[in-house]
Amino acid sequence: MTEQPTLDVRNLRVEFPGRHGTVTALDDVSLTIRPGEILGVVGESGAGKSMTGLAVQRLLEPPGHIAGGEVWLNGRRIDQLPEPQMEKIRGREIGAIFQDPLTSLNPLFSVGRQLVETIRLHSDLSKPAARARAVDLLAEVGIPAPAERVDHFPHQFSGGMRQRVVIALALAARPRLVIADEPTTALDVSIQAQITALLRKLCKDHGTAVMLVTHDMGVIAETADRVAVMYAGRLVEIGPVAEVVARPSHPYTRGLMGSIPTLGARVPRLAQIDGAMPRLDAIPTGCAFNPRCPLVQDRCRRDRPDLRPMGAGLAACWIDPAAAATETAA
């Protein structure tokens, strides 16, 4: 019997009406995340990564709204729930980790007070029991001397330690899904490695599903089980991370992987993807990547490709991956 996914997003479409027409920020996005699985969502700025996470949580800035599709959490459809019911889901069933831990924490209150308030909001624990739970959470995320540090303020922690506190806040109510939006971007490389290792450990220990939003394919390769590659609000490739990293099918994914420097390799200049992400009000006809694609064909400019099986995953491309690999090598 197939395990029910924690998160099931079906043909999600997000629109922003404006004076000059309606802008489509997400177009036909479908993905699933199973218990204990980390799905990496990757792409350049403007690809729709963070927008997907916000749409799942129903935190879209008005007039943005979900214009089509469905969002299911633990077998329950949540995209049409009244706001009071959705408020109960945020924090309790969906935890969130944001990019800058300093802005995620209130500088006027100790981290313990913030943890205790979050725990008590989503449970019936007494204040002493919630404080004990807060200390346990800090210990679980690797904060040294948690019984003492629980009374410290955010400015008394380093950037990496603050991010650990934010992770503890996200896990306070034992949510089934955690959406981590660029959780390592503001950290140095060694701390990034610690945070990604912590996410993997917590994911496996608690069976938590994680949506890891990032622009860093290196973080995805080290952390995620599967990866979804986005471009101009659309999914262009999704599959097991080892397969996508080693044998990417879509030319855009190939470009992302090719732009990562290789240790020990001496090259005259780094590879890059020519051009820039299109504006959402000026997405090209056909494949949105066609103006930047080195393998573009007439059909790419005319018809939009749907996701179809390629290798161990799916890719939205008209070009056969074997032929693409030969062309790219040449």
Rounded-to-integer distance, Cα 214 and Cα 165, Å: 20
For residue 109, what pLDDT is reported?
96
Rounded-to-integer distance, Cα 241 and Cα 214, Å: 14
Rounded-to-integer distance, Cα 112 and Cα 105, Å: 11
Q: Which whole number is the average pLDDT over 167-196?
A: 86
Whether the per-residue pLDDT at 249 is higher than 90: the answer is yes
Q: Residue 31: beta bridge partners?
A: 9
Per-residue pLDDT of 28-81, as tens digits, reads 999 999 999 999 999 999 999 999 999 999 999 999 999 999 999 999 999 999
Q: 7-93+173-245 maps to which CATH number?
A: 3.40.50.300
For residue 2, what pLDDT is reported?
61
Q: Give me the helix-helix angle, 127-140 and 111-121, nearest 10°.
A: 120
pTM for the whole thing? 0.90
Whether the per-residue pLDDT at 1 is higher than 50: the answer is no
Q: Average the pLDDT over each of 99-113, 138-152, 261-275, 303-317 and give the range with the smallest value.
A: 261-275
Whether the per-residue pLDDT at 245 is higher than 60: the answer is yes
Q: Rounded to the nearest 10 degrees, how much is the dihedral formed by the CA atoms of 117, 150, 212, 73?
A: -30
For residue 324, what pLDDT is reported?
53
Half-sphere exposure of 86 (CA within 13 A, CB side): 16
Whether the per-residue pLDDT at 326 is higher than 60: the answer is no
